[in-house]
Structures are given as structure tokens and as C-alpha cells.
Amino acid sequence: MSRIGKQPVALPDDVSATISGQTIEVKGPRGTKSFTATDDVTLTVADGVISVTPRGKSKRARQQWGMTRTVIANMVHGARDVFRKDLEIRGVGYRAAIQGNVLKLNLGYSHDVDFTIPDGVTVTAPKQTELVVEGTDKQLVGQVAANIRDWRRPEPYKGKGIRYKDEYIFQKEGKKK
């Protein structure tokens, strides 16, 4: 049995959920989100709690059970609060600046990197070497942060590049004479 799927999702007072068929819609102060579940699970809302149960004992039904519950829990959290990823830029001359809807990155290339910020996500640069990615969709926030990080991943010798705030980079020892 799925340990995650068994846990019901509690609805806060300012968040409501409605189910029509296999589609669940969650409304809260930060907006409305909807998700269509597969036919392998059953969704129910009762007493301020959303429950997900599998419709069979197949492997696919058990996989969808935990995944669906997690997606719904993230929607409930996103309807009330924001998801946040902090990035830091390390390296001589590496910096970031926001110009309208474009993130301009100087990462040691012969040209500046222009990253267009998608809708539903806000990117701020409190300092030239720090970035904050925020939004109500957990998957979108994580994907945008990963796309920004992919422009210059941290390298293992000096640690230069874009990294998550809490990420640890294992430092390798350089060549010895």
C-alpha cells in the first residue's frame, strides 16, 4: 500500500475543492488550479479532507495513487502560499539582472544569456549573485529554477556556477605536480 496515498489532504479554511468526474478544482486566495486524474484512482471530498483511493490492485493504479495525492497536496499548498527556490551565482564576473520579463545572466560566455521568464513564475534578484524563483505551481517553479541552473552548472574544482542555496558541491582536488 502507498504510504503517501493513504494520507488524506487537509483543506485549510480559505481553500475549497470541487470534483466533477476525474477533474478536481482547488480555489484559494492565490488563484485556481485544476487537475485531471487518471481513471485508476477515485477522488472524494468530505469534511474538509480530500481522499484518493486506487480503483484496483494493478501496478499502474498504485503508482497513480501516490502521485495523484501529491499533486493535489501541492495544488492545495499553492492555492494558499507560494513555492520558492533560491539560487546563488558563484564566479568572478558572474551576475544576474532582471529587465522586464527577461533575466539577463553574465556567466563567463562571450555573450549574455537572456532567459525569458514564463507566466506564473516571478524571478527576483535581491543581489547580483542571488536569484529567487517563486510561484504557485511547484512543478513550474522547480523547472524554471532547473532551466536557469542549466546555463552554468557548478563545476567540481572551484565550485563556480549557478547552484541552489542549500546545495553542497563536492570539491575535487586539482592536479598535483
The one-character DSSP state at 150 is: T
83-164 and 3-80 share a CATH fold: yes
For residue 7, name the pLDDT band (cuts at 50, 70, 90).
Answer: very high
pLDDT in tens, 106-162: 999 999 999 999 999 999 999 999 999 999 999 999 999 999 999 999 999 998 999
> What is the grid cell recorded at 79?
492555492
CATH of 3-80, one of 2.102.10.10, 3.90.930.12, 1.10.10.10, 3.40.50.880: 3.90.930.12
Q: Look at residue 175 and tell me whether its pLDDT is greater than 90.
A: no
Tell me the C-alpha to C-alpha distance, in Å, between residue 75 and each of 11, 128, 167.
Answer: 11, 32, 26
Q: Which residues face 49 on adjacent strands?
A: 10, 46
Instruction: Name the superfamily (CATH) of residues 83-164.
Output: Ribosomal protein L6 (3.90.930.12)
pLDDT (mean) for 9-37: 93
Which residue ranges make up each domain of the chain?
A: 3-80, 83-164
Q: Which residues face 131 on adjacent strands?
A: 87
- Give percent above pLDDT 70 in the chain: 99
pLDDT in tens, 60-117: 999 999 999 999 999 999 999 999 999 999 999 999 999 999 999 999 999 999 999 9
